[in-house]
Amino acid sequence: MPLINILKRSSDLVASFDKRYRIIHWNNSIEEHTGISRAEALGKSIYDILPGLKEHLGSIIEKQVFEEKTEVEYLHDLKLQLINGVMLHASAAVFPYHYIGQTSASEITGGVLLLYPFEKSAPYPPKLSKLLLSIPYYSSEAIIITEASPLDVPKGPSIVYVNRAFTEMTGYEEYEVLGKTPRMLQGPKTDRTELDRIKKALKEKVAVQAELQNYHKDGSCYWVGINIVPVKNEAGWTTHFIGVQRDITDKIESRRNLEKTVEERTHRLRQAVEDLEAFAYSASHDLKQPLRSVTSHLGLLKRKAKGKIDAELLTYIDEAVDGARRMYGLLEGVLQYSRITAVEDEYEMVDLQQLFARKIKELQQAYPQQRVEVELPEQPLPVVEGYEVHLEQVVQNLLSNAVKYCDAAVAKIQIAAGTAEGKYCISITDNGPGIPEEDRRKIFNLFSRNHELVEGTGIGLAICKRILQRHGGTIAIAPYEKGKGATFTFTLPKPKAPVPQPSQAE
């Protein structure tokens, strides 16, 4: 059995015997130290092989091990006569066999003898073998040991050991599970996929961790976290599997409650955002009509009053009209911002090379008084997956800003493309004044304007950020360098499915 296999390699001298005192295990250390081979010892009475043992411990073993079912603590300075005439000077301890799980704890089937020769070290030896025997039994973790095979037959590998924590966790007594398969703990709710994963690991003789829903003896379910490791013999063959189990029902329930709470809060937050977007749309839409009326009446007032009022009053009217138009532009921006709700189902393949070419042509037409030079990369820009109308807004905003804020005679724009972390990266660099460090942090906020001398609403970059986030992308601005303009870089995920190769635009 596995613990005996471990003790076979112990530096302590270990022998085990049945209720008739016949030796059933004789480890390497006791064989080497006494000169008595395993073949000579197995099946013989331990008192015949170690005559001195009966003299010193015979009555104690009978009373404590087999009647009281308790261990015989280490007795020191024993001189034991061996069958081959050797005198062994050692400490000795004896344990009831149920400590290593041969049958139910109420029935003792034998004992385990530990000897520690004095000549090995000091007269008070460490009790490693005792710990190896007692730790599994007293562990708070449930421990189960099975044979390594067979795995494929219906019965499955047999259980050869369970500790006290296992019986307390499952409700089964030790004698009810020994010789059975761990499959007796499974039921309708046990995850078949997880079981197949465990089986695959066991076939490959490797360690595995899993979480399963098992069943108590009374039929109730519980969640268990399992760590299974293979045990190999001296030849390197896997002979057994040791499983350490922990009841994680409370942990799973807490996790599910947390997931439910997060889901509920996410739903409420999503609803609040949708309500806010609806309100912004409604408010912006409803306010546009009164503003149009104000602008119209101010224009009418100016025409009627022309020649009747002085130039200063006409200037006031012009400023009022300009303010109303700016407010109209702000409301239009808020409407655009609130309408960015495209979902993945609406996505299509968008050729960025063609999109940029189209927007560059429109840009040059929109600014006839400004010379605009745009440099595209040698390789065509990629094809991405997205909502084309929204991606057009991003490109248009970034290109128009590059021209709008340029104070040079020629507005020069350089487009670059690359990849990083599974995403396409598109950079747009201009030769404008750049954006100072103190403005970079707020540049993507609503109503943030970088240049007071240039007309704008301060919504364009906020719209770009929102669109790209909805597409699973990002947008950022490079650190400020005086005299080197501004560089905006946006990213978009690579398409999930293969896409046609982009072609260089005419």
The pLDDT, as a whole number, for residue 354 is 93
Give the residue among 197, 182, 257, 190 at the shortest CA–CA distance from 222: 190
Superfamily assignment of 344-493 in CATH?
Histidine kinase-like ATPase, C-terminal domain (3.30.565.10)
Domain 255-338 belongs in CATH node 1.10.287: yes
| Range in 45-59, 149-163, 166-180, 350-364 with the lowest mean pLDDT | 149-163
Dihedral sign for Cα 343, 348, 354, 358, please: negative
pLDDT at 103 over 50: no
What would the two tokens of residue 437 be?
A: 């460090």
C-beta of residue 504 within 8 angstroms of C-beta of residue 376: no
Q: What ranges do the domains of the chain cover?
A: 2-130, 142-247, 255-338, 344-493
The type of residue at 468 is L
Segment 273-280 shows an average pLDDT of 66
The pLDDT, as a whole number, for residue 38 is 87
Q: Please name the helix (run of DSSP H) or strand (run of DSSP E) that holds residue 159, with its range, or none.
A: strand 159-162
CA distance linking residue 488 with residue 380, whole number of Å: 19
- 285 or 181: which carries more pLDDT confidence? 181
The pLDDT, as a whole number, for residue 162 is 85
Residue 185 — very low, low, confident or very high, per pLDDT cuts 50/70/90? very high
The pLDDT, as a whole number, for residue 65 is 79
C-beta of residue 337 within 8 angstroms of C-beta of residue 273: no
C-beta of residue 213 within 8 angstroms of C-beta of residue 222: yes
CA distance linking residue 167 with residue 217, whole number of Å: 10
Does 255-338 match 142-247 at the fold level?
A: no
| Residue keyed to tokens 């398409």 | 495
Beta strand 371-375 with 410-420 is parallel
Segment 71-93 shows an average pLDDT of 75
The pLDDT, as a whole number, for residue 124 is 39
Q: What is the CATH number of domain 2-130?
A: 3.30.450.20
Residue 468 — very low, low, confident or very high, per pLDDT cuts 50/70/90? very high
Backbone angles phi, psi at 76, to 5 degrees: -100, 160
Residue 208 — very low, low, confident or very high, per pLDDT cuts 50/70/90? very high
- Top CATH class of 142-247 equals alpha beta
Residue 394 — very low, low, confident or very high, per pLDDT cuts 50/70/90? very high
pLDDT at 241 over 70: yes
* Eight-class DSSP state of 478: P
pLDDT tens readout for residues 350-389: 999 999 999 898 888 888 888 889 999 989 999 999 988 8
